[in-house]
Amino acid sequence: MGLIQNILAVIVVLGLLVTFHEFGHFWVARRCGVKVLRFSVGFGKPLWSRVDRHGTEYAIAAIPLGGYVKMLDEREAPVPEDQLDQAFNRKTVWQRIAIVAAGPVANFLLAIVAYWALFVAGTTVVSPMVGSVAPDSRAAEAGLAEGHEIVAIQGDEMRSWEDVNLKLVSIIGFSGELNIDARPEGASDAQRYGLPVNDYLVRQDPPQPLQTLGITPWQPEFPAVLGQVVSGEAADQAGLEAGDRMVAVNGEPVDDWMHFVNIVRGSPGETLQLTYERDGEQETVNLMPGRNSLETGDEIGYIGAGAQQVEWPAAFQREIRYGPVEAVGQALSRTGEMTLLTIDAIRKMLVGLISPSNLSGPITIAQVSGDSARAGVEAFVGFLAYLSISLGVLNLLPIPVLDGGHLLYYFMEVVRGRPVSEKTQAVGLRIGLAMVGTLMLMALYFDLMRLW
């Protein structure tokens, strides 16, 4: 069931993103007088199609991993004399720039609308309350302690753990004093704590912003009860089901979920005698955690199961809601913030501050899509907005075959006063295809590494 949900979720996500992206190209092309021959969501053989009165074919194809808008163009096929004025290549350079840029712009607009809807409907976040601080860590040495609520980092207001993590990830590579403003439990005023860091999170795989500082977020006690079991994994093979309570492992009582997780992670490939409770009765089975390799070469165990969710106390929750007008500014601000964060992450990956293993491909997107869909509408819409921004940014990279590569050629045409030669564009196309193909293979490889 989890696999089916993941597949359906990724089809919905990619379908929406591709449709909006291609509609941006389509809409502006029509306004510029370009004849659109086909608007396709997906690649391959069409599963459904129809032709409108303008002669444009709308199609949904079998492979839902992209899409395209095919326009009348003399460079691709002969164009009838009476339709030359509708050919893409006959339009002014600024019209061509507008048509190509419209796809990524549509993705940014989709993100703005999604964030606006979330802010108007109201989002519930968890306040950034410190649960524990590791002894001798940077946080402990600075004076942070259990019960402190983080209210600002480097002068920027923090309202949730999402804000905290995004801020910390944005300063990867920072060296100096990291200023955290926190309010001690029961106090009304915040105090500033300076944490010295050097090359913060550089080449960590994956980055662990809070753990690196020695901070563990507060969370309610999670009983060792299974919330979901992944089909085919060790927990499923042992006969475990959602709702089972873990009682003991090898005769050692299980205190809570994290205690159980630590036992499993520390026992890759080992046979564990597990006692669990179901419907008031206890049973014992043998369970062998699978092996998951880390970048360090170490192995951890996993069984393919998740914890049953618990309710957070109202005192630790915070609702963020804005009026329709105020939400516009907030949505623009959040979209801009996430766009800059994405661009900065790409830059840091290129200079080696972030490991390329953080690249994600279709498998990770499917997993996160499914998880966010199961977590509720709020999480799903938020993920959709972020992925739309990522798609917009990636398409604007100056790589031939991407929209950004075409824009690069057109801006060169503006500067030079004449188009870039077709020979140069052909060479660039081959280079671009090689670059994009390499990135896709790398992303798929790291997907599989994370999966296995």
Catalytic residue among 22, 57, 270, 281: 22
Exposed/middle/buried for 24, CB within 10 Å: 0-12, 13-18, 19+?
buried
Spell out a b/e string for 353-377, using b for 16 or more CB atoms within 10 Å of the CB, else e.
bbbebbbbbebbbbbbbbbbbeeee
Scan for tokens 């052909």, then name that residue. Answer: 426
- Has 22 been annotated as catalytic? yes
Q: What is the DSSP string of 152-195?
A: EETTEE--SHHHHHHHHHHTTT--EEEEEEEE-TT-SS-EEEEE
Are 190 and 182 in contact by the 8 Å Cβ rule? The answer is yes
Q: How many CB atoms lie within 10 A of CB 164?
A: 21
Are 74 and 23 in contact by the 8 Å Cβ rule? The answer is no
∠ CA 428-433-438, rounded to 5°: 130
- Run of H or E residues at 63: strand 57-71
Q: How many CB atoms lie within 10 A of CB 120?
A: 18
d(CA 141, CA 180): 13
Backbone angles phi, psi at 233, to 5 degrees: -85, 180
Q: Which two tokens stand for residue 2?
A: 């989890």
Are 274 and 284 in contact by the 8 Å Cβ rule? The answer is yes
Spell out a b/e string for 267-290, using b for 16 or more CB atoms within 10 Å of the CB, else e.
bbeeebebbbbeeeeeeeeebbbb
279: left (phi over 0), alpha (psi -120 to 50) or beta: left
CA dist 444 to 43, 76, 200, 359, 448, Å? 19, 31, 27, 9, 6
- Run of H or E residues at 424: helix 422-451
Task: Name the residues annotated as catalytic.
Answer: 22
